[in-house]
Structure 1
Amino acid sequence: MKPFPDIPSLGNVDPADRISAIDFVNRLNWWFETWDVESMLNAFLPDAVAYHFHGTLNGRDEMRRFFERDYPYLIPGVSRHATNHIVDADEDGVVVRYQNLLVRYASPESAAALGDGQAIKSPDGLPAIWLYSPMMDRLRRAEDSWKVFERYIGGSTINPRLDPPTTDPAELAQYMPKLKNA
């Protein structure tokens, strides 16, 4: 994992850019939560780099493999909450620093019931914060929206009591969110 680089403040950020950058980060979290892989990949520039505690990812092809092979255990029964956004000017874009909280609200096998609008009572002390990560996204404008140029996931804290019983993507496939329009 690479440490966060120093990003000097390059002046004021236009309020519209600040709002749209925060919305973009929150929307990207939603795409992860709903497992909209194409939107997730599209949110990154083709040559983007992500520094994750699972390793460094270069470009969309590596990210796709990572999402398919290593990431599914972080999806079913988990919501994402980006908090305390700080937006600064960054060369030809912006940098957004924030804390990302992954809240386990259900076991993977129970998550579908919540997606169907049911209310469940958890005997397991859920919901609870499973993972805390400081984040930094360097964003650039492409076409008419922001795209991630570099993503840094800082040193993270994980509550292992909330780990799913398996990290095997094949076993988790049945619990992954399904896009309604897919």
Structure 2
Amino acid sequence: MGFFPKIRASSVVAPEVRADAIDYVNRVNWLFETWDLEGAIAAFTSDARVYHFHGSLHGEAEIRHFLSEVYPYLIPGVSRHASNHIVDVEESGLVAVRYQNLLVRYATLEDAPKLGDGQVHESELLPALWLYSPMLDRLEKTEKGWKIAERYIGSSTTNMMLTPVDTSAAAVAPYLPKP
């Protein structure tokens, strides 16, 4: 995992810090899964850095543009599962959370809105693991709670059979979860 920066733990992690940090990462995944765009953007510090397989971002404006224009195809019919969390308090005071993020495609774009009503959907292909990504979130405690100061998405593997043909924001927009 050469892409990820070295983590220099400064102390033993208190159980409540570990639990809070893991809970925060999982809650941020839920913001993405339910397409709470404003909540997802607010999960980052205003000067956050994100290193994604689609490129590097810095600050709220770039994160907003990325999430609005590049990322939407990763939302409809997709569930996120963070696992194997490792939490360390760094010398800088940031809390590093390393984990694997698994994206499970449970519906095609077209079928995704139907499943919001609690219907059962049958498929010969789905659900299936669509994307695997090792992750590192460096969290900063602010007066408003945890925020992501840095996010690293490592070398990822995607099952291309499950990727929509047209991944443009315009093509995906009709299938995004509605607030």
**Which TM-score tier does this pair reach, normalised by the shorter chain?**
over 0.9
User: With structure 1 as the length reference, what TM-score do the two structures score?
Assistant: 0.95
Partner of 1:107: 108
Unaligned runs of 5+ in 2: none
Matched, 1:154 2:171: no
Partner of 2:172: 172
Tell me by how many angstroms 1:24 deviates.
0.3
User: Counterparts in 2 of 1:12-161, with a 5 A limit?
Assistant: 12-90=12-90, 91-123=92-124, 125-161=125-161
User: With structure 2 as the length reference, what TM-score do the two structures score?
Assistant: 0.96
- The separation in 1 between residues aligned to 2:37 and 2:174, in whole angstroms, is 16
Tell me by how many angstroms 1:145 deviates.
1.1
- The separation in 1 between residues aligned to 2:60 and 2:126, in whole angstroms, is 34
Q: Which amino acid aligns with 1:131?
A: L
- Give runs of ≥4 in structure 1 deviating > 6 Å: none
- The separation in 2 between residues aligned to 1:139 and 1:93, in whole angstroms, is 5
Tell me by how many angstroms 1:8 deviates.
1.5
- The separation in 2 between residues aligned to 1:165 and 1:56, in whole angstroms, is 24
- The separation in 2 between residues aligned to 1:48 and 1:141, in whole angstroms, is 13
Q: Which amino acid aligns with 1:92?
A: G
Give a deviation string over 1:105-125, Cα, whole Å, max 9, x none.
Answer: 0001101111111001013x1
Q: Which amino acid aligns with 2:61?
A: D
Sequence identity (%): 58
